[in-house]
């Protein structure tokens, strides 16, 4: 096990494209850290620089007490699991698991012991004599994990390892990875574009966009206090409702206006520090369908229903108030019809404010 420290790590390709723009990240000994962001945000490039598969343009990478920035991948004491299983088709599961150790000159007895231990941890004992073509996708991914596990490295690097699995297998294998991390206590850095994987697996999350680290924190702190508009819109399913407009104050009351439409936000004036052009955000679960006579919510407004999506245990109402669209997470019972008008309520303390120009959070 080891700490990993990225210090001002930057990657610029020959064509001038900046893939990673000065990342500073410290991963604790035994931590499971998730790099998350949309395709092309630089997360896989950052992981590959840690692995030594991409050259670092600027900055340093330390694993433990050693600067590994210029070391070859084989000298970094890391093991990597890729999106592609990359198993040798002519080798059995046992041979695939032990092949890397064989290349490194381990004895047959040591290889057998490590393969047996890893196979037991991943419940592969009954599959050791099978070829990859005889395995399901989930079983192949477990073999790929096991091949990294037998190395007993200081750091595990996982690059979207679940992308090729169906929804059920993704959930199962995600649980196995979390269990494996708890059992081993080894430092893991996990790359994904899937926010559910990030939220459920990561002890901390690094959110990236256009090569820039947007926010680093625990999943729930990022969800509750997104640093900017990108993070607010990226994490959460459905995404946070974001309403752009101009603020007008009337005494202690605040109103959001846009093209003649007005939404009263209650007594929130102190939270915006005199700004005029803002984006107001609220999570779908913090918008409530209420009766027209309910006065318990500080913010009340009517909205026209465009669409209702029922997904079993919950439903989502897509509605419109003036030029602002709103998604509401509700129970799947007594749902309104498209075209109906509903009264919605929001507690003022659940609002998020962002600067419309910079996108930064206003606290």
My answer on whether 142 and 182 are in the same domain is yes
- Of 54-58, 124-128, 291-295, 350-354, where does mean pLDDT reach its minimum? 291-295
With a cut of 60, say whether residue 270 has pLDDT above it. no
Domain end (from 234, 252, 271): 234
My answer on whether 222 and 305 are in the same domain is no
Q: What is the CATH number of the domain that holds 113?
A: 3.40.50.300
Range of the domain at 330: 241-362
Handedness of CA 61, 66, 67, 72 (dihedral sign): negative
Bond into 238 cis (ω within 30) = yes
Question: How many distinct structural domains can be found in the chain?
Answer: 2
My answer on whether 42 and 93 are in the same domain is yes
Q: What is the CATH number of the domain that holds 256?
A: 2.40.50.140
Q: Tell me the pLDDT of the chain averaged across its residues.
A: 91
Opening angle at CA 295, ends 293 and 298, nearest 5: 140
Average pLDDT for residues 197-225, to the nearest whole number? 96
Q: What is the pLDDT of residue 171?
A: 86
My answer on whether 208 and 264 are in the same domain is no
Average pLDDT for residues 222-249, to the nearest whole number? 94
pLDDT band at 314, cuts 50/70/90? very high
Phi, psi (5° rounding) for residue 222? Answer: -65, -40
Domain end (from 205, 234, 263): 234
My answer on whether 255 and 220 are in the same domain is no
Q: Output 42 or 173, whichever has higher pLDDT.
A: 42
My answer on whether 109 and 175 are in the same domain is yes
With a cut of 90, say whether residue 242 has pLDDT above it. yes
Q: What is the pLDDT of residue 266?
A: 76
User: Residues 107, 114: contact at Cβ < 8 Å?
Assistant: no
- Render pLDDT for 119-151 as a digit per residue (tens, 0 to 9): 988 889 999 999 999 998 888 888 988 898 888
The position carrying tokens 């075209």 is 339
- Render pLDDT for 251-267 as a digit per residue (tens, 0 to 9): 777 889 898 888 888 76
My answer on whether 135 and 263 are in the same domain is no
Q: Give the bridge partners for 345, in sequence order.
A: 288, 300
My answer on whether 110 and 131 are in the same domain is yes
Q: Output 317 or 151, whichever has higher pLDDT.
A: 317
My answer on whether 18 and 107 are in the same domain is yes
Domain end (from 234, 256, 285): 234
My answer on whether 102 and 33 are in the same domain is yes
My answer on whether 152 and 295 are in the same domain is no
pLDDT band at 177, cuts 50/70/90? confident
With a cut of 80, say whether residue 341 has pLDDT above it. yes
pTM of this prediction? 0.89
My answer on whether 229 and 101 are in the same domain is yes
DSSP states along 62-106? EETTEE-TTS-GGGS-EEEE-SS----TTS-HHHHHHHHHHHTT-
Q: What is the pLDDT of residue 96?
A: 93
With a cut of 80, say whether residue 22 has pLDDT above it. yes
pLDDT band at 1, cuts 50/70/90? low
- Of 49-63, 138-152, 223-237, 302-316, where does mean pLDDT reach its minimum? 138-152
pLDDT band at 338, cuts 50/70/90? very high
Distance, CA of 263 to CA of 257 (rounded, Å): 6
């Amino acid at each position: 096990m080891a700490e990993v420290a990225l210090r001002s790590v930057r990657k610029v390709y020959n064509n001038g494209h900046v893939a990673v723009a000065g990342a500073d990240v410290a991963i604790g000994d035994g931590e499971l850290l998730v790099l998350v962001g949309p395709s092309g945000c630089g997360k896989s490039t950052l992981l590959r620089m840690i692995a030594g598969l991409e050259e670092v343009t600027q900055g340093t990478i330390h694993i433990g007490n050693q600067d590994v920035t210029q070391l070859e991948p084989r000298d970094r004491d890391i093991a990597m699991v890729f999106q592609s299983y990359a198993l040798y088709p002519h080798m059995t599961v046992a041979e695939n698991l032990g092949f890397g150790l064989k290349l490194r000159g381990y004895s047959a007895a040591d290889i057998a012991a490590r393969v047996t231990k890893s196979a037991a941890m991943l419940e592969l004992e009954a599959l050791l004599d099978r070829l990859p073509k005889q395995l399901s996708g989930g079983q192949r991914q477990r073999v790929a994990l096991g091949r990294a596990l037998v190395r007993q490295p200081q750091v595990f690097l996982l690059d979207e390892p679940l992308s090729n699995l169906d929804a059920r297998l993704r959930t199962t294998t995600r649980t196995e990875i979390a269990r494996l991390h708890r059992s081993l206590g080894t430092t893991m850095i996990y790359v994904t574009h899937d926010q559910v994987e990030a939220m459920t697996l990561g002890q901390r999350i690094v959110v990236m966009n256009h090569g820039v680290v947007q926010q680093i924190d625990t999943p729930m702190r990022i969800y509750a206090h997104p640093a900017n508009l990108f993070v607010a819109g990226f994490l959460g399913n459905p995404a946070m409702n974001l309403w752009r407009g101009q603020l007008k104050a009337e005494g202690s009351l605040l109103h959001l206006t846009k093209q003649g439409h007005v939404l009263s936000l209650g007594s929130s004036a102190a939270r915006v520090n005199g700004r005029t052009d803002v984006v107001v955000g609220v999570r779908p679960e913090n918008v409530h369908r209420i009766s027209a006579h309910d006065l318990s919510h500080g913010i009340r407004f009517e909205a026209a229903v465009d669409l209702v999506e029922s997904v079993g245990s919950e439903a989502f109402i897509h509605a419109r108030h003036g030029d602002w669209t709103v998604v509401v997470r509700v129970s799947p019972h007594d749902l309104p019809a498209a075209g109906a008008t509903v009264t919605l309520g929001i507690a003022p303390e659940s609002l998020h404010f962002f600067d419309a120009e910079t996108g930064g959070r206003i606290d």
